[in-house]
Amino acid sequence: MVKIRLRRMGKKKQPSYRIVVADSRAPRDGRYIESLGYYNPMTEPSTIELDGERALYWLGKGAQPTQQVEKLMKIKGVWEQFQGSRKK
């Protein structure tokens, strides 16, 4: 199964994350298929950069986002686009 999840980057006590598509069996910071963007919770306000087109592609292929990634997608509006395309 393919998941869209966060990959931790950054220094100790200064986390930043990449939003990646990875096999669910791969370790959190291990190998991934594609990077879709990044998330930096340390800035004010938090920085979220997400390639919505590629995220929609992977969601259409059956990739499952984690809870945190789903929240980030809702903030960027990608999740609503995906839900709208499924209802058609």
Q: DSSP string spanning 39-75? A: EETTSSSPEEEE-HHHHHHHHHTTPEEPHHHHHHHHH
pTM equals 0.88
Domain ranges within the chain, ordered by starting residue: 2-87
Considering the domain 2-87 in this protein, what is its CATH number?
Answer: 3.30.1320.10
Ordered per-residue pLDDT tens for the chain, 88 residues: 999 999 999 999 999 999 999 999 988 888 999 999 999 999 999 999 999 899 999 999 999 999 999 999 999 999 998 988 777 5
